[in-house]
Amino acid sequence: MIIASEKISPDIFSLKIKAPQAASVCRPGQFMMVHLDRGDMILPRPISICDCDREKGIITLVYRIVGGGTKHLSELTAGYELRLTGPFGNGFTIEDGLKKALLVGGGIGTPPLILLLKELNSRGVESEVYLGFRDTSVLAKDFEELGAKVYIATDSGGEGYRGNVVDLLGKLPPEADEIFSCGPKPMLRGLAQWALERRIPCQICLEERMACGVGSCVGCVVERAGAAQPKYLKVCCEGPVFYAGRVVLDE
């Protein structure tokens, strides 16, 4: 059931949903399949989990309106019984002994890093957050309220550094034991190269169109790097989080 729906920017909404079972087991980097149950919208929409309150059994999904399905979702109000399945996918891996993490988000890829930051905080990991947007930031205050130092880059220069977030990393080269990221592929490509040059392990969370969420439809595959077989990996069940260098981040 929808607890609250909030418009946080002209085309981005935050949705709080009562889902005790999902909240009890969800991990950073996983996603839910949102079923709209309309005849003209048969396929569910995959949306990354932004946050969860295990005690209250509430999960938070943050999404951008990109079509008719998400437009319909934005019009639903508190009390609506929304059908969800999940959580699905392999989330971020946090190794024991990790001391300093670098979180890099771009656009609507930023929300999944909120739950990740909470998990890192609970393990005593020091984190810095770098976020990239076209014009204005989304959720930056949420990261700051969790105690992280936040750096922002915008294409327009309307907020923070003018340029993309990978350029900002080059201007303020941070030190980290591991990088965790989610965002558009151009950003992830640049970040993967930046991390490779510095020999820093880098996990990337991919977003792809998908119909089932469990690997049956094979509609969300991404090419596997190198000559290893199988040639393609399913983002929904073998991801959405991969180590940079394991997949081909094409155009």
Q: Give residue-wise pLDDT tens across range 192-245.
A: 999 999 999 999 999 888 888 888 888 899 999 886 778 899 999 999 999 998
Strands (E), the chain: 2-9, 12-18, 31-35, 45-53, 58-64, 83-88, 100-106, 126-133, 149-154, 161-162, 178-182, 202-205, 221-223, 232-234, 241-243
Q: 9 pairs with which residues across the strands?
A: 12
Pairing verdict, β 178-182 and 202-205: parallel
pLDDT given for residue 178 in this prediction: 98
- Please give the mean pLDDT across all residues of the chain: 93
Taking the chain, what is the end-to-end CA distance rounded to the nearest angstrom? 38
Residue 233 near residue 222 (C-beta atoms within 8 A): yes
* Predicted confidence (pLDDT) at residue 251 exceeds the cutoff of 70: no
Higher-confidence position of 111 and 38: 111
Domain layout of the chain by residue ranges: 2-88, 100-243
Per-residue pLDDT, averaged over 52-61, amounts to 97
Calpha distance 73→38 (Å, rounded): 11
**Topology at the third CATH level for domain 2-88:** Elongation Factor Tu (Ef-tu); domain 3 (2.40.30)
Q: For 175-194, how does the pLDDT look when each residue is reduced to its tens digit (9 = 90+)? A: 999 999 999 999 999 999 99
pLDDT given for residue 207 in this prediction: 87
Per-residue pLDDT, averaged over 116-127, amounts to 98
DSSP string, 20-38: HHHHHH--TT-EEEEE--B
Lowest mean pLDDT among 18-32, 37-51, 95-109: 37-51
Percent share of the chain, pLDDT over 90: 83
At 247, the pLDDT band (50, 70, 90 cuts) reads: very high
Calpha distance 100→154 (Å, rounded): 25
Q: For 69-99, how does the pLDDT look when each residue is reduced to its tens digit (9 = 90+)? A: 999 999 999 999 999 999 999 999 999 999 9
pLDDT given for residue 42 in this prediction: 82
Tell me the CATH architecture of domain 100-243.
Answer: 3-Layer(aba) Sandwich (3.40)
248 CB neighbour count, 10 Å cutoff: 14
pLDDT given for residue 216 in this prediction: 86
Percent share of the chain, pLDDT over 70: 99
Asked whether the whole model's pTM tops 0.85, one would answer: yes
